[in-house]
């Protein structure tokens, strides 16, 4: 209908006559609500919702499989607004199609404290918001995980799962590096039920996208194995034709929709001025005139609201048919359990047996090895357990012996080879968890949580069960040197709200930490695991002692004079220091703190009993920052204050003075 306008502050003439009057009026309702909400909030992004209104209208009216009255219907299509700054597009769609929780009053409270209509879509704030978006690229990458989950669930529950994942993405989503990882993985796996609609408006915050990028996005997606189409995003017939073709594709589909940002605005359409600021009263007045929208702010007349509400009810018959099918399905109970995220009865039996074996045999194992044995113990009783690694399977030890890999032709397996795509892997795991039916875990080195961090943060923000198996967790990895030796990473991760960071001391604690990660449905977990062997320190498994985050592993013999605090491999060092102190007549207790977050959640009385009222010395082969919360003014931390170095493990611990002798010496100086 219209090529993008590029001249700022030049009044535009009348808009071309639309091909479909009903779709035109429906799309204008989205535009008007976006203009009004952003203007009332005096904050937001009106341009993207106005530009993509035609595309979204066609999608929600004629293609998306959903039921506004049953928003969590498991076989619904998923819709992801990757360009999350345009959140008013999603809120307008949910409001107009009849989703509960997004009434007109919520639109009027756009971006206000406590409102479900937040500045960017937030998972859990309202029905119909499938994932939290805002950090660009996260939405499209998360959607890859959703599409993968659909294919895998369809392989396990044929006849019950058959839906698509739709994404609206912007230029920023495609510029972010995570998009490269995501679309490459999707193309490789031939995720044919994934459809991305690109808001190709050629505008970024700084100005035209030609300031910074000249990629041919269509050719790029083709190179990654996607089917592509290019359409005028304001031509509803062209959008309809492309979406019809996309339904039949065996490959993921990319539809480049040429649009005008702030379509309809008289002077700001096609300009960066409409990207992240209210249009202003005069511009909105002019846009209403050009669009033929002669209604007050936040008013949508019944004759325009009705086709939207009808669209929201369109999937009701499909929902009812599906639920009747579910009632007759032999696998109904298992399907419902998995979708609900409930663990099966007896799922811990394998772990319990494994812990008993550790106590009996007292093996010396790297915790990455005992983690692998825990995975082996979990797999038989937890069919939704889905593993993977970012091309480090043999190092992370994330694959069970009998785990079958996912391939483009067979989605019945339970292991994903993500390739060297740490960021994409973490985001895809978010999508797998959000879709339902799987508990994803994936591995890389702890140092590479730097690549995963944005996705880990979103998992914590959304409150979903994703497990990160992060091995080679300290200078103990040795010769690979400081580029691979994590120093500040534990501190950084522990600073993140709603994230459990586990650093087990031995095989028993590793099994306990796996059990805790799996049994926490609304909190993601990081398992920080060693490359080097550590002895079995625990002699009791009657209870999961790691569940309290910290506990006295070895009490002082006599009246406690000092407390040695440690995590992971350094608990062994603390135990050796305890023996040295004992030989000098000093009674020392050793406290293992496998999870600070769980320890901090305990009562003050419990924590003080564990820590004691004596000097406290912490030891951890990582940055000492943060330990002051436990050691107090009279204690001292033994750890890293610099980056690591390339050398054998024994030389490194001596070089950085993280030894039992040094810990004992520090303890003696404090009593």
Catalytic-role residue among 130, 283, 384, 422: 422
Q: What is the DSSP letter of 392?
A: -
Q: Is 422 a catalytic residue?
A: yes
Q: Angle between the 507-518 and 367-378 helix axes, to the nearest 10 degrees? A: 50
Among residues 246, 257, 256, 260, the alpha carbon closest in space to that of 220 is found at: 256
Distances from the Cα of 486 to the Cαs of 497, 526, 645, in angstroms?
Answer: 20, 14, 11
Among residues 234, 286, 311, the alpha carbon closest in space to that of 67 is found at: 311
Cβ atoms 462, 132 nearer than 8 A: yes
Please give the Cα distance from 379 to 377 (Å, whole number). Answer: 6
Distances from the Cα of 32 to the Cαs of 37, 288, 573, 633, in angstroms?
Answer: 8, 8, 66, 59
> Taking the C-alpha atoms of 576, 582, 588 and 593 in order, what is their torsion angle to the nearest 10 degrees?
20
Pairing of strands 562-566, 588-592: parallel
Cβ atoms 530, 571 nearer than 8 A: no
Per the listing, tokens 């810990």 go with 663
Angle at 642 between CA 664 and CA 571, to 5 degrees: 35
Please give the Cα distance from 45 to 87 (Å, whole number). Answer: 8
Q: How many helices (H) and strands (E) does the chain have?
A: 26, 20
Cβ atoms 389, 418 nearer than 8 A: yes
Please give the Cα distance from 626 to 647 (Å, whole number). Answer: 27
Please give the Cα distance from 530 to 473 (Å, whole number). Answer: 5
Q: What is the DSSP letter of 157?
A: S
Pairing of strands 562-566, 227-232: unpaired
What radius of gyration, in Å, describes the C-alpha atoms of the chain? 28
Per the listing, tokens 């008007």 go with 32
Cβ atoms 344, 337 nearer than 8 A: yes
Please give the Cα distance from 436 to 118 (Å, whole number). Answer: 24
Q: What is the DSSP letter of 558?
A: S
Question: Which residues are catalytically annotated?
Answer: 422
């Amino acid at each position: 209908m219209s090529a993008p306008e590029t001249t700022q502050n030049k009044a535009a003439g009348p808009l071309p006559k639309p091909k479909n009057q009903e779709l035109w009026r429906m799309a204008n309702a989205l535009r008007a609500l976006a203009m009004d909400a952003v203007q009332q909030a005096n904050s937001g992004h009106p341009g993207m919702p106005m530009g993509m209104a035609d595309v979204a209208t066609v999608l929600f009216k004629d293609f998306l499989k959903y039921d506004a009255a049953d928003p969590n219907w498991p076989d619904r299509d998923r819709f992801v607004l990757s360009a999350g700054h345009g959140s008013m597009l999603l809120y307008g769609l949910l409001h107009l199609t009849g989703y509960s929780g997004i009434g007109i009053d919520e639109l009027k409270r756009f971006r206000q404290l406590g409102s479900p209509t937040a500045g960017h879509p937030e998972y859990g704030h309202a029905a119909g918001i499938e994932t939290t978006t805002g950090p660009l690229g996260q939405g499209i990458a998360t959607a890859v995980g959703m599409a993968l989950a659909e294919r895998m669930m369809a392989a396990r529950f044929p006849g019950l799962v058959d839906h698509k994942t739709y994404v609206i993405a912007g230029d920023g989503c495609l510029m972010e590096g995570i998009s490269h990882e995501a679309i490459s993985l999707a193309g490789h796996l031939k995720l044919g039920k994934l459809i991305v609609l690109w808001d190709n408006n050629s505008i970024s915050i700084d100005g035209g996208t030609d300031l910074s990028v000249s990629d041919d996005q269509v050719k790029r997606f083709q190179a990654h194995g996607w089917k592509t189409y290019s359409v005028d995003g304001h031509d509803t017939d062209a959008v309809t034709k492309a979406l019809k073709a996309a339904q039949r594709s065996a490959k993921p589909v990319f539809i480049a929709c040429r649009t005008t940002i702030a379509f309809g605005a008289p002077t700001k359409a096609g300009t960066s001025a409409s990207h992240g600021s209210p249009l202003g009263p005069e511009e909105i007045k002019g846009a209403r005139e050009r669009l033929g929208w002669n209604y007050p702010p936040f008013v949508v007349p019944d004759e325009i609201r009705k086709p939207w509400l009808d669209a929201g009810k369109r999937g009701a018959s499909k929902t009812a048919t599906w639920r009747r099918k579910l009632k007759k399905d032999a696998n109904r109970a298992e399907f419902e359990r998995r979708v609900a995220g409930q663990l099966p009865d007896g799922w811990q039996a394998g772990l319990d047996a494994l812990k008993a074996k550790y106590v009996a045999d007292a093996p010396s194992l790297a915790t990455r090895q005992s983690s692998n044995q825990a995975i082996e113990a979990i797999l038989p009783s937890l069919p939704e357990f889905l593993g993977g690694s970012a091309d480090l399977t043999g190092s992370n030890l994330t694959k069970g012996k009998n785990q079958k890999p996912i391939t483009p032709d067979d989605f019945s397996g339970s292991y994903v080879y993500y390739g060297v795509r740490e960021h994409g892997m973490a985001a895809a795991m978010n999508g797998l968890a959000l879709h339902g039916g799987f508990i994803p875990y994936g591995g890389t080195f702890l140092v590479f949580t730097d690549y995963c961090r944005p996705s880990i943060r979103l998992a914590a923000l959304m409150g979903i069960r994703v497990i990160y198996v992060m091995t080679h967790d300290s200078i103990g990895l040795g010769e690979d040197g400081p580029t691979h030796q994590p120093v500040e990473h534990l501190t950084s991760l522990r600073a993140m709200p709603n994230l459990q960071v586990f650093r087990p001391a031995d095989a028993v604690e590793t099994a306990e930490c796996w059990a805790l990660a799996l049994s926490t449905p609304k909190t993601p977990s990081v398992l920080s695991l060693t490359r080097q062997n550590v002895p079995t320190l625990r002699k009791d498994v009657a209870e999961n002692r790691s569940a309290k985050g910290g506990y006295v592993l070895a009490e002082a013999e006599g009246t406690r004079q000092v407390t040695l605090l440690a995590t992971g491999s350094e608990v062994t060092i603390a135990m050796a220091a305890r023996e040295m102190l004992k030989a000098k007549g000093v009674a020392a207790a050793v406290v293992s703190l496998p999870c600070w977050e769980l320890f901090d959640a305990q009562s003050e009385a419990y924590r003080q009993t564990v820590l004691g009222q004596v000097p406290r010395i912490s030891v951890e082969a990582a940055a000492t920052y943060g330990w002051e919360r436990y050691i107090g003014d009279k204690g001292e931390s033994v750890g890293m204050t610099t980056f690591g170095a390339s050398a054998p493990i024994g030389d490194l611990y001596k070089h950085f003075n993280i030894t039992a002798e040094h810990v004992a010496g520090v303890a003696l100086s404090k009593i």
